[in-house]
Chain A
Amino acid sequence: MDINIGTLVGQMIAMLVFVWFCMKYIWPPILNAIEERQTQIADGLAAAERGQQSLDQAQTEAGVIVDDARKQATSILDQAHARASEIVADGKTDGVKERERQLSLATAEIEQEANRAREELRGQVSAIAVASAEKILRREIDGRAHEDILSQLAAEL
């Protein structure tokens, strides 16, 4: 282990150059990249956490909205049911009324018709009676003299 200046100084110069090169061209870019990536990773993690939070929030909001919609749907359905039964009930009463109206109409018409028939019948009967009486009386009495009695009789029928 002889000390010799050549190697000693050579090594010192080599070290000087290497350290300078490392300080100038190696250390800064690599460390910058590392630090940049560290911030990127930290940002990414924070973003992921924010995303998770907003997802949770959105999920709760969606739950609320779905609940509301469900409630609304139920109330609409109830309303529809109520309206339907109302309509059915209305229909029923309307039908009953209409039936009664038709019935009374028909009854009135029938009555009218019957009255007219009766009138006609009455006229015809009186005519027949007159005709028959005329035929009978032609032989005996002048019809015109007894006309007042005959009409009075017809009115009484």
Chain B
Amino acid sequence: MASEGGHGTEGSGGYIQHHLQNLQVCKVDDQWVWNDCAGNFWAMNVDSMFFSVFLGLVFLLLFRKVAKNTSAGKPGKFQAFVELVVDFVDSSVKDTFHGKSKLIAPLALTIFMWVFLMNLMDLIPVDLLPGVASLAGIPYLKVVPTTDVNITFGMSLSVFVLIIFFTIKSKGVGGFVRELTMHPIAPPTKGFGLIAAPLIIAFNFILETVSLLAKPLSLSLRLFGNMFAGELIFILIAMIGWYQLPLHFGWAVFHVLIVTLQAFIFMMLTIVYLTLASEEH
């Protein structure tokens, strides 16, 4: 579609719109409907789900293959690479989280590799997979799952659930409630100040709730925003005809950095949030 560069404002707008449209399925009046789901809360982005699960499986199968044949002896090249990643994640976790948890390190590894692979889809030329799909009769295809806000929210909400779980596990339900209400301003417990206590508690509660909710929100929107913007610029570059090649190359090189960095940030912040949740302050 890049060869159709130079179309009018409406044409290019349509091109961009087309690229940002998910392949959706939803149920309307007990019937499965494709691509007519705008505003339907129960719809599902099939393309995002497919690539997300596909890439997750790629990660799991590659690493499982190494894990199954692993030996303490001389490692092969791919095993060395996998162990490099695992060791990197392990040291990142150990630097931050000092408790004992069987969950955090594998969680961090999964997040890092999965988000990395999903971001990496951004480097595939924007028209390649959708073009092939349109030949097969699929009208829309968004290949980068992390440019879908549902995917990033799905991950950050899972992390959010884990934050609450870790807080309650280490401090109890009372501790969780206390963290939301007795912090950052300790309400007075005696004297005249007692009158102000409910007010202070309410204030604390609003403040802490916002900061608690900001964690998953910022986690997902940061990843989504970065990848969406990167994808959009790839689409814009793809519209300018043959001159796109050097530009595309330059942006792709730069994007390699963003791809890795965002995967790392998502992983690191997950570790930090879970550490904060399970530690006393």
Instruction: List A residues at the B interface (Cβ < 8 Å).
Output: 1-12, 14-16, 18-19, 21-23, 25-27, 29-34, 36-37, 40
Chain B residues with CB under 8 A of A37: 72-73, 75
Alpha-carbon distance A2/B67, docked complex (angstroms): 39
Alpha-carbon distance A26/B105, docked complex (angstroms): 11
Alpha-carbon distance A32/B66, docked complex (angstroms): 12
**B40, B154, B157 pick with most chain A CB within 10 angstroms:** B154
B101-122: CB near A (< 8 Å → 1, else 0) gives: 0110111011000100000000
B219 → chain A, closest Cβ, in Å? 13
* 8 Å CB contact of A27 from B44, B49, B109: B109
Chain A residues with CB under 8 A of B60: 18, 21-22, 26
Known: A15-B114, A26-B106. 12 other contacts (CB 8 A): A1-B228, A4-B41, A6-B42, A6-B43, A7-B154, A12-B154, A18-B114, A22-B63, A23-B102, A23-B103, A29-B68, A40-B72
B69-84: CB near A (< 8 Å → 1, else 0) gives: 0111101000000110
Could you tell me if A10 and B154 are in contact, using CB atoms closer than 8 angstroms? yes
Alpha-carbon distance A75/B102, docked complex (angstroms): 74
Chain B residues with a Cβ closer than 8 Å to the other chain, count: 53
Chain B residues with CB under 8 A of A26: 60, 63-64, 67, 106, 109
Say whether B90 faces chain A, with CB atoms less than 8 Å apart: yes
A7 → chain B, closest Cβ, in Å? 4
Could you tell me if B158 and A30 are in contact, using CB atoms closer than 8 angstroms? no
Instruction: List B residues at the A interface (Cβ < 8 Å).
Output: 24-26, 37-45, 48-49, 52-53, 56, 59-60, 63-64, 66-68, 70-73, 75, 82-83, 86-87, 90, 102-103, 105-107, 109-110, 114, 148-151, 153-155, 157-158, 224, 228
A-B contact pairs, 20 of them (CB 8 A): A1-B148, A3-B149, A8-B154, A9-B154, A11-B48, A11-B52, A12-B158, A14-B52, A14-B56, A16-B158, A22-B106, A23-B106, A27-B106, A29-B70, A30-B67, A30-B70, A30-B86, A33-B70, A33-B83, A34-B86
Alpha-carbon distance A96/B72, docked complex (angstroms): 87
Could you tell me if B26 and A19 are in contact, using CB atoms closer than 8 angstroms? no
Could you tell me if B40 and A11 are in contact, using CB atoms closer than 8 angstroms? no
Could you tell me if A6 and B67 are in contact, using CB atoms closer than 8 angstroms? no
Known pairs A1-B149, A33-B70, A34-B87; A12 contacts B157 (CB<8 A): yes
Chain A residues with CB under 8 A of B59: 18
Could you tell me if A10 and B44 are in contact, using CB atoms closer than 8 angstroms? yes
* 8 Å CB contact of B83 from A8, A19, A34: A34
Could you tell me if A7 and B48 are in contact, using CB atoms closer than 8 angstroms? yes
Could you tell me if B67 and A11 are in contact, using CB atoms closer than 8 angstroms? no
Alpha-carbon distance A19/B48, docked complex (angstroms): 19
Alpha-carbon distance A3/B56, docked complex (angstroms): 22
Nearest residue, chain B, Cβ from A9: B154
Could you tell me if A33 and B49 are in contact, using CB atoms closer than 8 angstroms? no
